[in-house]
Structures are given as C-alpha cells and as structure tokens.
Amino acid sequence: MRRIPSILAVLLSVLSLAGCASKARSDALTTTLNAYGSTLRWGDFQSAAQFIEPAIRAAHPLSKLDQARYRQVRVTEYDAGAGPVPTGDFDVQQTAQISLVNVHTQSERTIVDHQSWHYDEKTKHWWLTSGLPDITQD
C-alpha cells in the first residue's frame, strides 16, 4: 500500500518530463515552420533547401534546371492554412498554398505544397522530408 504513492510520484514525474519534451518539440516545430514559411515568402529557394533533411538533400541536390525554374518565379503568397497535422510522435504534415508569378510572362498561379516534416531527437531539429515545392505542377 505504501508503494502506491511512490509509484504515482514516479508516473507523474515521467509524464511531466514527457510533457516538457513535447512542449520543446512543439516550440521547435513552430519556429521551424515560421522560418521556412518566411524563407519561401521571400522566394529564397536556395535557403529553403537547407530545411531539407541532410541525407535527403545530399541524395537529391537541386539540379541546375530546378535552380533555373525557381529563379523564374516570384512568390506572391504563402498560406499554410490550418497548420501542421501530427501523423506520429515525431512526424507532421502541412499543406500550404503558394502563389507564384512567372517573371517572364507575369502570369500568376497557385500550387499546393504537401509538406512532410520529421523531428530528429538526436539533433533536436525538425527536417523537411518531402523536398521543396514542385513549381512545375499545373
């Protein structure tokens, strides 16, 4: 009977530590998504590529053609809508609408960017795993 209070104390300690960890993870996600959104709003796709998980970025570097395509557009709006949706303890998905203007034709269009983000516990960092927006979609 004496063990019940000590077991409860241990459980509460573990739960509060888990709560702190998830709060820190949530704060890091908010900071990362805001920074990524700001980077895209400025049309800085080169810097936005730094949000991609390093192993994915190394395996799939931006080609010269991709870089030229990104230079051909200007971002006029970035709307993350309802924000991130958890898909697991360390994964979220977010859908953003991005309005682009072609600098040569001045035509505007909107694309939908389905983002996947993963939290790396070792580095305490959120990484984009879905890559940069596909601006070639119609």
pLDDT in tens, 111-127: 999 999 999 999 999 99
Residues contacting residue 51 through CB under 8 Å, at least 6 positions apart: 32, 35, 36, 39, 127, 128
Residues contacting residue 60 through CB under 8 Å, at least 6 positions apart: 131
Q: Domain limits of the chain?
A: 3-128
pLDDT in tens, 4-18: 444 333 333 333 334
CA distance 138 to 123: 37
Which one is the CATH code of 3-128: 3.10.270.10, 3.10.450.100, 3.90.420.10, 3.40.1410.10?
A: 3.10.450.100
Q: Is this structure's pTM higher than 0.85?
A: no
pLDDT in tens, 63-86: 999 999 999 999 999 999 989 999
Three-class SS state of 133: coil
- Mean pLDDT confidence for 47-65: 97
In degrees, rounded to 5, the angle at the alpha carbon of residue 114 between the alpha carbons of residues 80 and 131 is 110
pLDDT at 37: 97
Q: Are 77 and 99 in contact (CB under 8 A)?
A: yes
